[in-house]
Structure formats: structure tokens, C-alpha cells
């Protein structure tokens, strides 16, 4: 009876033991699932686009077309959201312009309001591109000036 009890305890505990990870240091990267599209500007002024997987105290992970890349924050100058397309604002404005259709306005009125609100949505979306900076480097960039003369 005692042998059966020991074997059953070992059988129950073995799947949990098999799933335990070795003594590895936890990743300092904090997952970021709310940002899909970002633009990362590196210190050498090259840009990378992708999805921000996680950002930590000293590195960030970016999933791009070429795969998952790790960047040390020393190499990164700025991380910002990618701009949403302009047609998105025009579509939202045009959808709002269809509201007079509910109240029984004639087709000419609905067409004018749809076009007007579509243009208004396009203008608002063009003015505010919603490219908030998620991270900026603490080291300032060097100031420079340039003059170009063309004939």
C-alpha cells in the first residue's frame, strides 16, 4: 500500500517537475502587447519598423519583417507609434456624415454631409497623426546646421 502511494505521488509530481525551467535569470523585459506598430530610430539615424514585443531597463525587443531583433537602449534614439493612414480619418468622417440618412434627409443632403464630414475627418487625421513617442534617449543629440545653395 505504501509503495502504491509513493508511485502515485511521483506520477502526479513528474509533469510539474518536467515543466519547471532551469535556474535561469528572468528576463528584464516587460511585455508590451498594446503597441502593434512602432518606428524605432537608432542612434545612427536608421529606422526599423515592427511590433514592440517588450521594453526593459536596458533593452527592447522588436518583431519586424526579418524576425525578432533585440536592441540595447544605448543604440536607440527614439521609439514612436507608427502613423495611422489618412484614409482612416476620411472613412470615419464619411461614416459620421451618413447620420442624416437616419432622419430621412434627401439623398443630396446625405451626399453633401458625407463628403463634408469625410473631408473634415481627412483634415483632422492629417493634422494629428497620433505618433506619440514611447521612448526617447536621455542623451541629447548633437546640434548641427547646414546650408544648401542651388542654381
pLDDT value at position 11? 66
Q: What CATH code would you report for 28-82?
A: 2.30.30.100
Residue 123 has pLDDT above 80, yes or no: yes
Does the predicted TM-score (pTM) go above 0.75? Answer: no
pLDDT per residue over 46-78, tens digit each? 888 988 888 888 888 888 888 888 888 888 888
Give CA–CA dist 49/52, Å, rounded.
Answer: 9
Cβ neighbours of residue 29 under 8 Å, at least 6 residues apart?
53, 54, 55, 56, 59, 60, 61
Residue 100, Cβ density class (10 Å: 0-12 exposed, 13-18 middle, ≥19 buried): middle
C-alpha grid cell, residue 72:
540595447
Domain locations in the chain as residue ranges: 28-82, 86-127
Share of the chain above pLDDT 90, in %: 18
Angstrom distance (rounded) from CA 126 to CA 3: 75
End-to-end CA distance of the chain: 100
pLDDT at position 121 is: 93
- For residue 6 the three cell numbers come to 509513493
Amino acid at each position: 500500500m505504501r509503495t502504491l502511494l509513493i508511485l502515485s505521488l511521483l506520477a502526479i509530481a513528474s509533469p510539474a517537475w518536467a515543466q519547471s525551467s532551469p535556474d535561469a535569470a528572468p528576463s528584464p523585459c516587460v511585455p508590451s502587447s498594446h503597441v502593434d506598430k512602432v518606428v524605432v530610430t537608432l542612434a545612427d539615424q536608421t529606422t526599423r519598423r515592427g511590433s514592440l514585443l517588450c521594453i526593459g531597463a536596458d533593452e527592447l525587443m522588436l518583431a519586424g519583417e526579418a524576425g525578432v531583433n533585440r536592441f540595447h537602449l544605448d543604440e536607440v534614439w527614439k521609439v514612436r507609434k507608427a502613423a495611422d493612414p489618412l484614409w482612416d480619418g476620411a472613412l470615419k468622417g464619411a461614416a459620421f456624415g451618413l447620420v442624416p440618412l437616419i432622419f430621412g434627409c434627401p439623398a443630396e443632403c446625405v451626399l453633401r454631409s458625407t463628403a463634408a464630414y469625410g473631408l473634415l475627418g481627412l483634415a483632422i487625421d492629417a493634422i494629428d497623426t497620433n505618433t506619440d513617442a514611447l521612448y526617447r534617449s536621455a542623451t541629447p543629440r548633437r546640434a548641427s546646421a547646414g546650408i544648401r545653395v542651388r542654381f
